[in-house]
Amino acid sequence: MKELETKRLRLRKLTEDDALSIFNGWANDPEVTKFLTWEPHETVATTQAILTSWLVAYQDEQTVRYGIESKATDELLGMIDVVKFWDGSPVVGYVLGKQYWNQGYMTEAFGAVVAYLFELGYPQIFIEAEDINIGSNSVIKKNGFKFIRQEERPQSETEARVVKINIYQKSNPVC
């Protein structure tokens, strides 16, 4: 996984030193995590334990998990990663600290990761967003993804609430 750069952002591997930034930036915020498949972290220790598992996962060459860092301030704003694969095609997920919403950061970071995944030769990329998550659906569409279907499913393994999930796909123009 190579480091990526955009006009305003550096997309880099996470490190052990990022635990507090992740916890304070988004992992403990119920407003940020309400559309994610995991609950807000109650302690930095929870974040640290999960971060440790992510760092171990970097040993697998297929792992794509970036910290999104501001080039101007070196602050960690969020993260973006391949969360799973469908028939060999990556499914991307992301999270951004609330104070950075509506400033174009995720649109910029997502565009860079999509370009990188296509450079790696993937024929298509998928992404999902809850239908009522207006910001995320907007980021996805701005990056040229096409809506392919909507599914109803439990929000997570621990949350029985059924949600509507929009599924989007983009094909590699070179393949």
**Residue 2 predicted with pLDDT over 80:** yes
∠151-88-1 over CA atoms, to 5°?
Answer: 110
Q: Where are the domains of the chain?
A: 4-171
Q: What pTM value is reported for the model?
A: 0.93
Of 151, 71, 88, 96, nearest to 123 by C-alpha is: 88
Instruction: Write down the CATH number for the domain with range 4-171.
Output: 3.40.630.30
End-to-end CA gap in the chain: 21
Confidence at 36, pLDDT banded by 50, 70, 90 = confident
CA distance readout (Å), 87 to 46, 90, 125, 134: 32, 9, 11, 28
> Nearest-CA neighbor of 23 among 34, 36, 32?
32
Residue 157 has a pLDDT of 72
* φ, ψ of residue 28 in degrees (nearest 5): -100, 5
Paired sense of beta strands 9-12 and 65-70, if any: antiparallel
For the residues of 105-150, what is the DSSP string, one character each?
A: HHHHHHHHHHHHHHHTT-SEEEEEEETT-HHHHHHHHHTT-EEEEE
Which amino acid, 20? L
Tokens of 129: 């967003």
> Higher confidence at residue 110 or residue 160?
110
pLDDT tens-digit map of 53-109: 999 999 887 789 999 999 999 999 999 999 899 999 999 999 999 999 999 999 999
Under 8 Å between Cβ of 98 and 31 = yes
Q: Residue 161 — very low, low, confident or very high, per pLDDT cuts 50/70/90?
A: confident
Lowest-confidence pick of 20-24, 44-48, 151-155: 151-155
CA distances from 74 to 1, 11, 12, 40, 55 (A): 20, 11, 11, 24, 20
Distance of CA 21 to the CA centre of its chain: 16
Q: 58, 65 in Cβ contact below 8 A?
A: yes
- Band of pLDDT at residue 37, cut at 50, 70 and 90: confident
